[in-house]
């Protein structure tokens, strides 16, 4: 069970079955797919999409557009596939066209908003998020509209390495909130930036919006959203960050104490991020830092769906590859199979 699923609005299995899977932590990686072929183009692109064959699916949808330029579904799916691989200009073009053809398409509205959020263009996302009818979107739209200054402003070192404080039950590191003393945070690739209520109050945060984000032990969980002035990880500082907090219990650290919160993919994708389990450390590098050469590592496509669900393709034994998510905060379930 992932310990901070409250408020995200998606059960992980339901999420996988919707096949809107997944994500690049850091820079976009190449789409996975076979070489162009008449067979791939002729196949049902929706079926290819559900199987995670995004490159082949995109070729199929583009064939549909050649025959029918007003095909809203083809525009929506090409836009979504582009969003999954951080091809933001293509995503914006096709998602906008999908909405021009089908103004009530809530999914494309959400994805176009995500396209702007992932580029830190929060003011462009706000009016779209206010149209979806989702309480979470409305709450974050309010927070985004109240940010004073440049959102996600990064300063400090070009890269930083922070040792894991714990590895079991999930990794944790130290970080500073609003210039305070170091506090321990769980690392969770299924997470945004989520504080405990105590840490939020200590940091002087003010709730700009709230929504009910699920039920724990029969009681609704109220989630508060605000803006954090400063979050410092090692030698890198991030300013003007959207943040949420709630009273949901989290697993204690090995010494019995509680972590100050959780952070994950919404921070990770602003950097070239490495969770180095072998050396038990978190490494954040600015995107301008040279990347490892192809000979230095094995590369897999990793796509983001929603604002923070990292996914790729995987297989068990000799079975055909299927979509999986990678969840460092899921206790006893780090990889989830579609």
Instruction: Indicate whether this model's pTM tops 0.85.
Output: no
Q: Running DSSP on this structure, what letter comes out for residue 293?
A: P
**For the domain that residue 298 is a member of, what is the CATH number?**
2.40.70.10
Residues 111 and 171 occupy one common structural domain: no
pLDDT in the model for residue 187: 92
Residues 62 and 124 occupy one common structural domain: yes
Residues 35 and 98 occupy one common structural domain: yes
The beta-strand segments (E) located in the chain are 153-156, 159-163, 172-177, 183-188, 193-196, 209-216, 219-233, 236-246, 261-264, 272-276, 281-285, 303-305, 309-314, 322-326, 335-337
Of 133, 156, 184, which one is at a domain's C-terminal end? 133
Along the 338 residues of the chain, how does pLDDT read in single tens digits? 234 444 444 344 443 334 333 333 333 333 333 444 444 445 799 999 988 889 999 999 999 999 999 999 999 999 999 999 899 999 999 999 999 999 999 999 999 999 999 999 999 999 999 999 999 999 999 999 999 999 999 999 999 999 999 887 788 999 999 999 999 999 988 788 999 999 999 999 999 999 987 766 677 889 999 999 999 999 999 999 999 999 887 778 888 888 999 999 899 999 999 989 889 999 999 987 555 565 555 666 777 766 656 777 777 777 777 777 766 666 655 555 55
Residues 220 and 80 occupy one common structural domain: no
Residues 125 and 193 occupy one common structural domain: no
In angstroms, the CA 127 to CA 141 distance is 8
Of 82, 110, 133, which one is at a domain's C-terminal end? 133
In angstroms, the CA 193 to CA 83 distance is 21
Query: Taking every pair of C-alpha atoms in the chain, what is the biggest distance, in angstroms?
Result: 63
Domain that holds residue 206: 1-23+139-338
Residues 148 and 257 occupy one common structural domain: yes
Cα separations in angstroms, 338 against 2, 16, 170: 16, 5, 22
Instruction: Tell me which H or E stretch contains 309.
Output: strand 309-314
Residues 156 and 128 occupy one common structural domain: no
Looking at the structure of the chain, the number of domains it has is 2
In angstroms, the CA 94 to CA 100 distance is 10
pLDDT in the model for residue 136: 94
Of 133, 166, 184, which one is at a domain's C-terminal end? 133
């Amino acid at each position: 069970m992932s310990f901070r699923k409250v408020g995200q609005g998606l059960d992980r299995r339901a999420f996988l079955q919707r096949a809107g899977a997944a994500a690049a932590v850091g820079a976009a990686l190449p789409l996975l797919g076979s070489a162009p072929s008449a067979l791939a183009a002729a196949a049902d692109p929706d079926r290819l999409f559900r199987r995670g064959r995004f490159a082949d699916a995109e070729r199929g949808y583009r064939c549909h557009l050649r025959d029918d330029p007003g095909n809203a579904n083809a525009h929506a799916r090409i836009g979504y596939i582009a969003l999954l691989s951080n091809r933001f200009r293509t995503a914006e073009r096709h998602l906008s066209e999908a909405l021009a053809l089908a103004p009530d398409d809530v999914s494309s509205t959400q994805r176009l908003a995500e396209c702007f959020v992932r580029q830190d263009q929060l003011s462009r996302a706000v009016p779209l998020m206010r149209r979806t009818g989702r309480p979470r979107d409305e709450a974050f739209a309010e927070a985004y509209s109240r940010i004073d200054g440049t959102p996600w402003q990064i300063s400090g070192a070009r890269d930083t390495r922070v040792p894991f404080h714990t590895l079991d039950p999930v990794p944790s590191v130290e970080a500073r909130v609003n210039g305070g003393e170091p506090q321990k945070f769980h690392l969770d690739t299924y997470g945004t930036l989520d504080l405990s209520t105590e840490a939020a109050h200590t940091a002087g945060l003010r709730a700009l919006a709230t929504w009910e984000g699920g039920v724990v032990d029969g009681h609704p969980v109220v989630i508060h959203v605000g803006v954090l002035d400063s979050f410092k990880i090692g030698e890198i500082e991030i300013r003007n960050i959207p943040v949420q907090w709630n009273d949901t219990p989290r697993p204690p650290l090995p010494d019995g104490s509680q972590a100050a919160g959780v952070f994950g993919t919404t921070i990770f994708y602003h950097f070239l991020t490495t969770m180095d389990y072998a050396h038990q450390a978190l490494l954040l590098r600015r995107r301008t830092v040279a990347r490892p050469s192809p000979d230095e590592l094995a590369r897999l496509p990793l796509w983001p769906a929603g604002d923070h669900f990292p996914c790729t393709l995987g297989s068990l034994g000799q079975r055909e590859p299927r979509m999986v998510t990678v969840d460092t905060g899921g206790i006893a379930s780090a990889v989830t199979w579609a």
